Amino acid sequence: MNRRYLVAFKSILDKEITRFMRIWVQTLVPPAITMSLYFVIFGSLIGSRIGDMNGFSYMEFIVPGLIMMSVITNSYANVASSFFSAKFQRNVEELLVAPVPNYLIVLGYVGGGMARGMLVGLIVTLLSLFFVTIQIHNLAIIVLTVVLTSMLFSLGGLINAVYAKTFDDISIIPTFVLTPLTYLGGVFYSLTLLPGFWQQVAALNPIVYMVNAFRYGFLGYTDVSLWLALAVVVSFIVVLFSYAMYLINKGIGLRS
């Protein structure tokens, strides 16, 4: 990457980070509150009655999943709303007229989504410390999983924003696709609890792989193969990145 591109990339990233930090009450506080409630209700109140989950206390088991859930939601939401509002206010034209290659536009926005996803992940992790002692089995896996997952869902948010024509269009996918997949993605239970057929169905849910890889980083336990999990995430990233590039190159929703 030459110097000019590097400055351009940093400018987009800077703008994106400034945006979500400026509206922190809308971007950082809500996940902190929601996740604290999850910790209180599922972890402390109900969790103590549920007992162990594959040899871990229920709270220990769900914390990695809940962190992952907030990373997913926030990466996606950040790029979806930021890119859509850039289209809506037309300030995306500032980038379109500038000598910025399209892949940098994608990387800049995705970088912003990752920054918010990971920052929220960190906040939620710190909050969880009030409820549970976190153990770390493999830090590298934790970091790798969170980086890849936030990248994947930032790309998803970008694609959503490209197609979106109204503000409602950027909440449809989160409500009807992401939330159900996350709840069914092994955040709250081990897949081993499911009957055989449903285990196979769950294996089609990509979020299962991310949650499990992430949980492995903390607990050293996973329902699915770690390498398969990483392969799934990386494949999705490759596909979504290519698709995002195709859309931006074509100028879908951007150039008339």
Partner 1 sequence: MSIALDIAGLHKVYRSGTVALAGIDLQVKQGDFFALLGPNGAGKSTTIGVISSLVNKTQGKVQVFGHDIDTDLEAAKSQLGLVPQEFNFNQFETLLQIVVNQAGYYGIPKTIALQRAEKYLSQLGLWEKRNARARELSGGMKRRLMIARALMHEPRLLILDEPTAGVDIELRRSMWEFLRTINQQGVTIILTTHYLEEAEMLCRNIAIIDKGLIIENTSMKALLAKLGKETFILDLDVLPSALQLEGFQWRALEGQSIEVDVEKAQGLNPIFSQLTAQQIKVLSMRNKANRLEELFVNLVEHGRGASA
Name which of 41, 40, 21, 18 is nearest 29 in CA terms: 21
Beta-sheet strands, E only, within 121-222: none
How crowded is the C-beta side of 188, counted as CA atoms within 13 Å?
A: 14
Residues lying near partner 1 in the complex (CB under 8 A): 3-5, 7-8, 10-12, 14-15, 18-19, 22, 85-86, 89-91, 93-101, 251, 255-256
Q: In angstroms, what is the minimal distance from the CB of 7 to partner 1?
A: 5
DSSP 53: B
DSSP 184: T
199 is written with which tokens? 């285990």
Q: In angstroms, what is the minimal distance from the CB of 9 to partner 1?
A: 9
C-alpha to C-alpha distance for 103 and 76, rounded to whole angstroms: 18
Judged by CB, which is closer to partner 1: 11, or 138? 11
Helix (H, G, I), strand (E, B) or coil at 56: strand
Q: In angstroms, what is the minimal distance from the CB of 22 to partner 1?
A: 7
Q: Please name the residue that has the structure tokens 């008339």.
A: 256
Q: In angstroms, what is the minimal distance from the CB of 141 to partner 1?
A: 35
Judged by CB, which is closer to partner 1: 1, or 139? 1
178 is written with which tokens? 């992401």
C-alpha to C-alpha distance for 184 and 169, rounded to whole angstroms: 23
Judged by CB, which is closer to partner 1: 11, or 190? 11
Burial of 1 (0-12, 13-18, 19+ CB in 10 A): exposed
C-alpha to C-alpha distance for 78 and 124, rounded to whole angstroms: 17
Cβ atoms < 10 Å from Cβ of 236: 20
Judged by CB, which is closer to partner 1: 9, or 58? 9
C-alpha to C-alpha distance for 62 and 70, rounded to whole angstroms: 12
Judged by CB, which is closer to partner 1: 88, or 221? 88
Q: In angstroms, what is the minimal distance from the CB of 18 to partner 1?
A: 7
Q: In angstroms, what is the minimal distance from the CB of 89 to partner 1?
A: 6
212 is written with which tokens? 């499990």
Judged by CB, which is closer to partner 1: 3, or 49? 3
Q: In angstroms, what is the minimal distance from the CB of 254 to partner 1?
A: 8
Judged by CB, which is closer to partner 1: 8, or 142? 8
